[in-house]
């Protein structure tokens, strides 16, 4: 475990990123100051409900009172706070954006949670944690941003304890054709313009729908989780499939 957890914050020395990851980190750095506001505005606050549902699924198998969970690609920490609110004892939040983690740290201090939420700056494809470290792991709206989805999932499998649970909350595909048409119009034409105005970043919220359209659908992602070593994989659609929660278990150390 990163020794910096003793002091609540651990900024890992220089780590190399691939070209996609470096570009995405630069984008998140630019929009960090408006990230929380825009998340809640553009989703009409439904993202808060989605996170709570994801944490409820994560929390189900965590019987021990001192459970340690990883919030991967944690950003400004909304999922970490949802974990604590649901009773997860200790949370490590990890992200590769220093600026996002600074805002996360400010929120932790404001809430007085320095003794239960810890921050580690790291690349999700090369985590600075020992194998079999965490009782549970959740990632919200971060998997599609990884340089390699499969490599990221295998790294998640590595740091989970046998018996540990993975929960992935991510945008997905709507299951109703008419709703899908209406949402796609909003997602592709309205959301990017609102995001550009409020974030002062011309392309960040155009990247969002583009990345979602390129990401595997529900069944495809379920298959990838199985290929990366997770067992008992399933998913639940949220808001007719605008987002989905995928979950699975690590039953052994074999990927």
pLDDT, tens only, 127-147 = 999 999 999 999 999 999 999
pLDDT band at 178 (very low <50, low <70, confident <90, very high): confident
Predicted local confidence at residue 211, as pLDDT: 92
Predicted local confidence at residue 21, as pLDDT: 85
The pLDDT tens digits of the residues spanning 184-207 come to 899 999 999 998 998 888 888 899
Stretch among 41-45, 112-116, 124-128 having the lowest mean pLDDT: 41-45
Please give the model's pTM, rounded to 2 decimal places: 0.90
Mean pLDDT value across residues 171-176: 92
pLDDT band at 254 (very low <50, low <70, confident <90, very high): low
Q: Where do the domains of the chain lie?
A: 3-175+216-249
List, in order, residues 6 or more apart from 218 with CB less than 8 Å away.
Answer: 172, 173, 235, 237, 241, 244, 246
> Does residue 161 sit in helix, strand or coil?
strand
Residue 11 has pLDDT above 70, yes or no: no
CATH number of the domain at 3-175+216-249, please?
3.40.50.150
Please, is 14 exposed, middle or buried when counting C-beta atoms within 10 Å of its C-beta (0-12, 13-18, 19+)?
A: exposed
R_g over Cα of the chain: 17
- Count the Cβ atoms, other than its own, within 10 Å of residue 148: 14
Q: Where do we find the tokens 């989905």? A: 244
The pLDDT tens digits of the residues spanning 63-120 come to 667 899 999 999 999 999 999 999 998 999 999 999 999 999 999 999 999 999 999 9
What sign has the CA pseudo-torsion 144, 25, 185, 199?
Answer: positive
> Does residue 245 sit in helix, strand or coil?
strand
HSE-CB of 56 using CA atoms within 13 angstroms: 8
CA distance 211 to 73: 16
Q: Which residues pair with 162 in a beta bridge?
A: none
Q: Could you tell me what percentage of the chain is helix, strand and coil, using 3-state DSSP and rounding each to the nearest 5? A: 50, 20, 30
CA 22 to chain CA centroid, Å, is: 17
**DSSP characters for 26-37?**
HHHHHHGGGHHH
**DSSP characters for 96-142?**
S-HHHHHHHHHHHHHHT-TTTEEEEE--TTS-SS-TT-EEEEEEES-
Evaluate whether 1 touches 133 at the Cβ level (below 8 Å). yes
């Amino acid at each position: 475990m990163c020794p910096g957890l003793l002091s609540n914050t651990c900024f890992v020395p220089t780590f190399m990123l691939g070209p996609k990851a470096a570009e995405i980190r630069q984008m998140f750095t630019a929009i960090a100051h408006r990230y929380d506001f825009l998340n809640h505005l553009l989703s009409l606050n439904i993202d808060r409900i989605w996170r709570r549902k994801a944490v409820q699924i994560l929390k189900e198998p965590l019987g021990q009172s001192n459970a340690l969970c990883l919030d991967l690609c944690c950003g400004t920490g909304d999922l970490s706070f949802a974990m604590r609110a649901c009773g997860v004892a200790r949370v490590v939040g990890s992200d590769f954006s220093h600026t996002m983690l600074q805002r996360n740290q400010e929120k932790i201090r404001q809430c007085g949670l320095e003794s239960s939420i810890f921050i580690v700056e790291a690349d999700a494809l090369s985590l600075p944690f020992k194998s079999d470290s965490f009782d549970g792991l959740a990632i919200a709206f971060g998997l599609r941003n990884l340089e390699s989805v499969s490599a990221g999932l295998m790294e998640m499998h590595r740091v989970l304890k046998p018996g540990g649970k993975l929960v992935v909350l991510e945008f997905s595909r709507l299951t109703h054709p008419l709703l899908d048409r209406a949402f796609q119009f909003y997602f592709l034409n309205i959301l990017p313009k609102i995001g550009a105005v409020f974030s002062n970043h011309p392309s960040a919220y155009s990247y969002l729908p583009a990345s979602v359209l390129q990401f595997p659908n529900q069944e495809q992602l379920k298959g990838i989780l199985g290929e990366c070593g997770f067992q008992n994989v399933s998913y639940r659609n949220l808001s007719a499939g605008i987002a989905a929660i995928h979950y699975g278990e690590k039953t052994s150390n074999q990927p």
